[in-house]
Structure 1
Amino acid sequence: MEKEGITILVVDDDPSLRKLAQRILSQQGWQVIEAEDAVTGIEKAREHRPDLILCDVQMPGLDGFGFLRELRQSPALQHLPVILMTGDESLVRLGGQRQAMDLGADDFLPKPFTVAQLVNAVRGRMERLRQHQTCFADHEHRWKVILDASNDVVALAEAPSLRLAYLNPAGLRLVGWSETEVAQRRLTDLLGPDLPGPVFAEILSTVAEAGQWRGQLKLRDGAGQAVPVAATLVVHHSDARATTFYAFIGHDLRERKRIEHALQDSEARFRTIAAAAMDGIVVLEGSGEVVFMNPAAEQILGIKAVDVLGRRPEQVLRPDTGKPLFDLDARPGSLRFECPVQRPDGRRLDLELRLSPVELDGRPHSVAILRDITEQQNLTRQLQQERILLRTLIDALPYNVYVKDRLARKTLANKADLKALGAETEAEVLGKTDYDLLPRTVAASCYADDMRVILHGEPVINRRELIINRAGGRQWLETTKLPLRDETGQIVGLVGIGRDITAYLETEAKLRMLSQVIEQSPTGVLITDAEGRIEYVNPRFTEMTGYTLEEVRGQNPRILKSGKMDPAVYRELWTTILGGRIWRGELLNRKKNGELYWEQALITPIRDELGRINHFVALKEDITELRNAREERNRMEIQLRQAQKMEAIGQLAAGIAHEINTPMQYVGDNTRFVQDAFQQMSGLLQTIRSLLSSSDPARACEQLIEELLRRAREADLEYLLEEVPRAIDQTLQGVERVTKIVRAMKEFAHPGSAQKTPTDINHAIETTVTVSRNEWKYVADMELDLDPNLPPVPCLPGEFNQAMLNLIVNAAHAIADRLGHHPTTKGRITIQTRRQGAWVEIRVSDTGCGIPEAIRDRIFEPFFTTKPVGRGSGQGLTIVRNVIVDKHGGTIDFETEVGRGTTFILRLPLQKQEQKQKTTPA
């Protein structure tokens, strides 16, 4: 067991593998540090600076490739050697290894591995690290050896395109090409047509596996002659991670003297290679002065070599910060860092700088390799933005989206999937199977589908599955699972997309329930298309009309028409529903057997997702019996209202009788007086009659005159001439008063019409005042302030008279309550009418006791009264409100003050407020 003082960091999410690696490596005398994930690994690498890192590729969150990428981007950690480990067969192959190497991995260790394999991999890596350091220390010497051997053909070709990036002069001379042709050539052009394709492929395979290939080849010179060469082909992975090169060295076996010549021209070759390099090359002496700068460095930095040679880099300042253009800190070992640079022309770029110490002619020097990574950085940022955008889109999808590896472990889960699993963050589910996340019964079904996809490549399409997470959440998903393949076509996992159909299934169940409700509904249902063609009727429709669905499908609802409805009804119906509104009304239709029936219909349009009407739905109810009952009720209501009027008249009968008796009293007295006066005048009249009938009027004249004078004295003719005309006038006034009372009684008691008619409101009020005179004349004076220009008001006269009577009687009672049992004064009742725009306002005011605040919100309630038993039924104001508001579409309000009186304010519309009768299509 050896003790080397080496520290090794093991990064793996599997604790058992970390413990195994720790035990094996510790037995070799190496110190081992553990990290359970990539983020922790970065932190511990920054803290301990280990000599070697072993890192697993597949980890939740940041995987091994991401860990390596983060490590190589850190100037302080980028030099640390890393061996990646994986058990994924697809990554063990050449493509996965190449991806790891491109990211900067130093080795690749497949899992599972033996103790010997792990130890050998670590020892080999440490040995190569020592060699690498030695190689860097002797870097300039190797260049000089290559240049000294420039009599050999030296070529650099980019991988995998095999495009020639450089061909040394010996090669150009050998093949007869110009320098401008090199960029248009490939490595296969150099090796010539004599090399079969399979052989070349085998050479490349050997290079990929062993790092180099040696053998003999025949090149063709400019004259087409075969030139045997001892060939070496090696692969070189750029430290910049951007490019891999194939280096070809061909030693001309015909002319060994070319080697000496190449050695003499090594410096020229070096400069030629440096001049052709795409990266900038700057060589500094140990003291820090620049001794060489190639054209690429000039182009990258935007400065000329003559302006820099012989100066220290810190003497070349950046325009943006005033600091050195780049800081070449001559510390031991290789140094790589990135820095922003602003060229003298103002252009900003991102620069990658790699600094290596070398020894030239026994003196320390430094070689700085500069690379413009602006485009690469922009591409990296763009890729990162696209990755963020893609992830944002995946998370924003309303579907459950997830990815699983070959072991059915979650490697990606979007927000919808996390919600279904009852998880808050993706870290809670990554690396776990359904058995870790779901109840076993649910997980078993899902796992079986996963294995079908992963092992056999069979997709699962639109499988319905009930997901119940451990928190008890339930969700129905319609899931599709597809195999996930790598670039070689091998299945490496699966992609799952699940659509939440919980609401859909609930809606489907509701639709089934609604379908049953419609089928069993006691209301007839009829559905037509937008053209009015019947598509569906329910069984109740068949019961109502006698038509079955088969008989009416495709028919127009007009087959139900009775022919007795006003055509305007149907025009109004279609105008309403085609305008997108609901129509309600009653129709007289005809059944299949010819029988007429009344139906109550509601028709509503149905719109599609674009808002266009595509169907109509009609709900129908047979109301024939209801309508007959309603007509009977209306007749009874009219009779009831008439009875109520008669009851009111009966209640007023005593007062009306008194009102009639008073004028009839003096009509009778005056009539008897006229009768007595006539008896007294009858003798005088008889004498005059005898005088007129005498045959000798002249002889009887004197005697008759004496008789007339006597009769006139007996009859008191002067008195009769004065009083009889007065008695007759009084009698006529009494008759007129009685006639007025009787006429008012007749008008008040008339049943009136069921329809509103234009009515003289002022006359109706005067009639009611006359009828109710005996109720108010002992307690109040009546004041009428009626607008003579008031237009006729559409109303029900009988109903209005009843309302006014109730208000007048209530006013009289209120005044009587205030005055007490033995009043010495009277109150006042004032009735006023005015027009207010489209309304007529009637005010009924009294000087009564007012309405207490505690009962103001109850005065219109049926049967509510504060009057003693026998004086009020509690229906008066209820009837007033029903008449004014419900039957006339008006309003009623009141103003009151306790101890001062109340004013009721009625407002009636001058336009009819009746709803138009509406009907459905038949």
Structure 2
Amino acid sequence: MNDSPLDSLDARAIAFAYLVFGVCGIFGGEALLWLGFGIPVSPTLALVKGLALVVISSAFVGGLVAWKNKRINRQQRSVRSSLNQLRSVLDASPVAILAVTPDGRVTRWNEAASETFGWDQQEVIGEFLPTIADDRRFEVISLIERSITADGLSNYPVERQRKDGEIREFRLSTAVVRDADGEASEVIGAFVDVTEQKQRERRLREFEMAVEQAGHAIYLTKSDGEITYVNPAFEAITGYERDEAVGKTPAILNSGEMDEAYYEELWETIETGSTWQEQITDQRKSGELYTAIQTIASITEGDEVLGYVAIQSDITESVLTRQRLGVLNRMLRHNLRNRVNVIEGYAAVIRSDATDESLIAAADNILSASAELAIVADKAQTVADLLESEGTARRVTDMVAVSVDHAESQYPDATVSSTVESECSRVVDNRLRVAIDELVSNALEHGGGTVHIDVFPSSTDSTKLVVRVSDDGPGLPQTEWEVIERGEETPLEHGTGMGLWLVNWVVTKVGGSMALESSHLGGATVVLEVPIVGPETFGSPKSSDDSGDSGGSNETDDSESSDSTDVSNGSEPSESPSGR
């Protein structure tokens, strides 16, 4: 508040000055009139009346000034009280509030600003805003000018840097303080930190985009089952548009294939807060049935169930494919085996009765081809059983030892040895035995006479072991390996058998990987990297050196692991892949 010069003067001084001025005016005027113009001095009574009027006027002016000063003092006390209250409010405000001059120097800085930005008040007062890097000062000046021009901004998005370097997002509202001439003296800014809110909004948008773009049917319901949202995949899978589904219940998908007990158990599960996951057969809008894996979970707030979220994965094609493969496998296993037996029988008769050498050779070729077909049929069954089975834990030392023993019995003229490092007596998926057997058998069947198995820790992942099978054979054709790496065969590019595919499927099934390297024995080396499935260490590993000691050091009683999967390639499975 700007007071006039009179506001600061005492009322008595003003009255006295008014009195002196009046007395001097009366007597000075009389003297001027008498001396200058010869006019006689006024009678005494008139002078007394004039002086009395001056005295009364002086007293009135003094009283009026005193009354005005009291009002001014009351107003100033009120303004000071309001300013003190405002400062208290600003200091106590949880919102960061600061003020700057038009050139960006800080004049006010409340406690919340210190907590928000990290600088204490004494560090910033009189300095340029520390929340802005030097190379971005022009942006602040521009923002201040905009605030002054617009007489304040509201909820303007800005980014500011904390003392520790962290960038935070704010909503800025400004007000302009002007002086008596209307010029801006300060710009006050209130910074509301919206960093977490923005992050939540971004996560919500990302979640919404993920749900919208998901390949699974997703829908939300109220607690009574009324559908409130469906994603595009729901529309594509069920055939119901969003407007057709929202407001309805999941009963629109009811195919009649599931009995009442299914739904009773479903509701009992989700109403207790547990997650339901089961296969279901539903019906599309077109009337076509489809099979899905359905997961339903409750959406809760505290103990209150607000609704449910359901996810359906359409497995209709997978079910049909499994059925087709089952039929084909049965036909391959049963019908092919029967026909092979017939062919072998007739070939054996021909060979026993034939006297012509060429006819005997032809019969032998038929018998050989029949045996190969029988092996293919057995291997196909092994693949089917293995890939549908659940693995169990088994010591890698036992599996390697059994594989060595099995190879020695099948190929008595071959040299099969193994080396297992001491820290590798760990537990892995028992289905790995099939892959090891297949690699050893393939190596010995295709020209190799020496095979060595190494087991050692992975150099890149402490949770995995490496099983390396090396041979001295002719090596693996690059085209054969490229087919495996590509993951599919074509009419012009395909493998020569099922062996490598079987190894690849097994290793993938147990969560490992497969690679091809050159062998120190001169042939090929296949490297399997597989996860350790348990921390147990059972005894010490059995190993043999490379000199050909492939027998005694690796002997293991296979009966000690009766729960494991032992499937030997090229012969009947010794146990089913399920361990039964």
TMscore range, shorter length: 0.3 to 0.5
Which has the higher relative contact order, 1 or 2, with Cα contacts under 8 A spaced 6 or more apart? 2
Bigger fraction of residues in strand: 1
**TM-score where L is the length of structure 1:** 0.30
Name the larger-Rg structure: 1
**TM-score where L is the length of structure 2:** 0.45
